[in-house]
Chains A and B, each alone.
Chain A
Amino acid sequence: MTQPVLEVRDLRVVFDTDDGTVRAVDGLSFALERGETLGIVGESGSGKSVTSLAVMGLIPRPAGRIVSGAIQYGGEDLLAASPRRLREIRGRRIAMIFQDPMTALNPFLSVGEQLAEMTRLHLKHSARQARDHAVAMLEQVGIPGAARRVDDYPHQFSGGMRQRVMIAMALSCDPEILIADEPTTALDVTIQAQILELLKQLRRDRGMSIILITHDLGVVANACQRVLVMYGGRIVEQAAAGPLFEQPRHPYTEGLLRSIPRWDGESTQLLRAIDGQPPNMAHPPSGCAFHPRCPYQLPRCKVETPGLTPRDAAGGGFKACFVDVASGAVAAASGAVASGAVASGAAASGAAAATAAAKQ
């Protein structure tokens, strides 16, 4: 079994707000395998973006705090790394692209200058090298007339082209890991298709590992091999994309998939919506955070928080639920936690077991 490129263990992040302390990420463990695109799905407030900020060491202080956990990258814990070491890794080894390229790019610097900044810092390029490299990167992400456009400013690019510039910046130091936080949400669907194609190509050609954070299940189905579903700061289900969409084992995943219309099938009269509202994480529900909205709710769901257990006997992935959604029956051994032998990332399962065990 190969080593994962990134491993997050029992991550807990809190934010102090006027409304009290928000547990944004509450005991999250997962592993990113080399050359895979891992989707993190969830709604606003589910903790998916906070997770990516934690990996990048970008949790805003003093409001946000990492309470516990470890983020293992290449034998070192990023949470214990010095700010100086983090700066070396960030952008060089682990790069990030954000949802809104207009706010993430500096409007006062040409895109060439912004690209050059990266490689002069991390790769010690000369001015000349950096400029040539910037042009090459813009070409690589499919910006027509790159040599001419390298001196343009962000506002001179369209939304899709700006997102390409962001991707060019993220890729300019050839990172091992790319974290893309809603990279296509602000884009039109035809441009989205171009950007997703570009991400796939990077994974194929460079063996890059990608974390793709999105709320769009279509984007996940298109681009990801494996998926984490987050709700209320925790993973509620984790599996390879195929099984997750075909046979969701957590009531929230099932509810999400049933509630979205499809344009290719027959239109049914009513969608099966999930009732209620997403939780307020300053005052989260007791027990399982999803229980107030869950059609399978049991008495114990109000008091106990389910840990991650194998999704099924075949051993593909995990779910955090006392109920067997597929059969409607209550899972027999919810206390029996994953042994390390489960497929789809042994490291992740080990981490999950550790998390769950710590809870008992």
Chain B
Amino acid sequence: MVEVTGRSAVGGHGESVAAGQTARSAGNVSGNSAGSSGGAGRSEPLLSVRDLRVHFAGGGGFWGRRTVIRAVDGVSFEIRAGETLGLVGESGCGKSTTARAIVGLVRPTSGEVRLNGTRIDGLSDAAMRPHRATVQMIFQDPFASLNPRLTVGATITEPMAIFGLHSPRDRQFEALRLMRLVGLDPRFLNRYPHEFSGGQRQRVGIARALAVQPKLIVCDEPISALDVSIQAQVINLLMDLQQKLGLAYLFIAHDLAVVRHIARRVGVMYLGRIVELADSADLFAHPRHPYSQALLSAAPLPDPARERVRQRIVLEGEVPSPDRVYAGCPFADRCRRVESDCRDKPPQLEGARHQVACFHAD
């Protein structure tokens, strides 16, 4: 599969559209950057994302007509220090592209990304560099995301050297400390990635991310390539590190149970937008958006007795192509609650702690 480079449109569709110009035009909304996350404290959020849009130029249509893939289309959320926000949704919903836009791997088309109050979207590579240490990323595929020619030690010390952290001698000690921290035997310092199992490689990836003392780690499907019995080890490690180091996570996964377990707040994405954003416990117990309800009802539980009696909300068809422009709600065509007003204007996320973008939510 093509999952290695992320399932976003980045691989196939080339440059992000008009990154520079539109990014600036959104600058005037900076005044209200704190606020809509339900009034959870007055302190500056660690990460604040406002009306983020990432559009890609699609392939030439018939007669050479260019299409625009709206991978992310107006996403806003905040993450506070030490907190975990989960993003769930199906392939093509824009969750991975959102992650990549935050760490600067793709340029946002518009909207803003603030780290401790400072805008980091659309920065040049050089200007972005100091922020890179604050936000790190771990990837889905621990086989593709590690350099096969670097030993574990070199893999972990490389980012320290890039950021000028520690003396060369101390970097070795730091690498050993980090290996212990993530549960790797320090004797493996001089081994190569191919000598490790998937779970161990993911630990190497985590140690490398930690090497520059980040505040936020963006985790894009960090366990979905691992065996079931290994997934829990990595989830436990991430939660343990959060406690010890006060890390914040943006945790992206398609496995709802994993996100429910690790995230305090969860956003459900559909066609490039967040349709529901709430505290994890609340969202999974009482989903209010018709799409969230369908998504949860489709996710099987490891419990045959429950499975026999569960009612499923069957969605017709599949997620439509993200190159369509919607006047109203993009979910309207598949929604069992659709009414005429749904097609007139797009619903916005509304509410205090439990936010829903639906005119007819429960």
Contact = CB atoms under 8 A, between A and B. Distances in A.
Do they bind each other? yes
Given A219-B300, A267-B261, A277 B230 contact: yes
Contact of A264 (B228, B301, B304): B301
Interface in B269-321: 280-281, 284, 294-307, 312, 314-315, 317-319
Interface string A33-74: 000000000011000000000000000000000000000000
Given A159-B91, A264-B284, A189 B302 contact: no
B327 interface: no
B258 interface: yes
Contacts of B306: 221, 264
B229 interface: yes
A283 B239 CA distance: 33
A190 B229 contact: no
Nearest to B197: A277
Given A218-B302, A245-B302, A277-B199, A189 B90 contact: yes
A274 B232 contact: yes
B114 interface: no
B254 interface: yes
A183 B353 CA distance: 38
Which of A189, A263, A267, A277 is packed against the most chain B CB atoms within 10 Å?
A263
B232 A160 contact: no
A274 B229 contact: yes
B144 interface: no
Interface in A306-338: none
Interface stretch (A116-124, A169-177, A191-199, A343-351): A191-199
Nearest to A270: B236
A221 B300 contact: yes
A259 B229 contact: yes
A142 to B, nearest CB: 10
Nearest to A278: B227
A158 B318 contact: yes
Contacts of A188: 90-91, 254, 319
A101 B183 CA distance: 37
Contact of A217 (B1, B230, B295, B302): B302
Given A160-B318, A190-B315, A270-B236, A43 B256 contact: no
Nearest to A274: B229
A267 B232 contact: no
Interface string A188-230: 1111111011000000000000000001111111100000000
A350 to B, nearest CB: 26
A242 interface: yes
Given A190-B90, A261-B258, A263-B257, A221 B229 contact: no
A255 interface: yes
Q: How large is the interface on B (under 10, 10 to 19, 20 to 34, 35 or more residues)?
A: 35 or more
A81 interface: no
Contacts of B189: none
A247 B146 CA distance: 40
Interface in A129-147: 144
A298 interface: no
B302 A260 contact: yes
B260 interface: yes
A263 B229 contact: no
A273 B232 contact: yes
B258 to A, nearest CB: 6
B235 interface: yes
Contacts of B21: none
Interface string A259-281: 11111101101111111011000
A43 B301 CA distance: 18
Contacts of A264: 284, 301, 306
B318 A216 contact: no
A113 interface: no
Given A189-B295, A190-B294, A242-B305, A278 B261 contact: no
Contacts of A24: none
A161 interface: yes
B233 interface: yes
Nearest to B261: A261
A144 B317 CA distance: 9
Interface of B: 1, 90-91, 197, 199-200, 227-233, 235-236, 239-240, 254, 256-261, 280-281, 284, 294-307, 312, 314-315, 317-319
23 contacts: A44-B227, A188-B254, A189-B295, A193-B297, A196-B300, A215-B228, A218-B299, A218-B300, A222-B301, A256-B228, A257-B302, A260-B231, A262-B257, A262-B301, A263-B257, A263-B260, A267-B281, A270-B239, A271-B232, A272-B232, A274-B233, A275-B233, A278-B229
Nearest 10 CB-CB pairs, A to B?
A: A218-B300, A273-B232, A261-B261, A259-B232, A193-B298, A188-B90, A217-B302, A271-B232, A263-B260, A222-B300
Interface of A: 43-44, 100, 144, 158-161, 186, 188-194, 196-197, 215-222, 241-242, 245-246, 255-257, 259-264, 266-267, 269-275, 277-278, 293
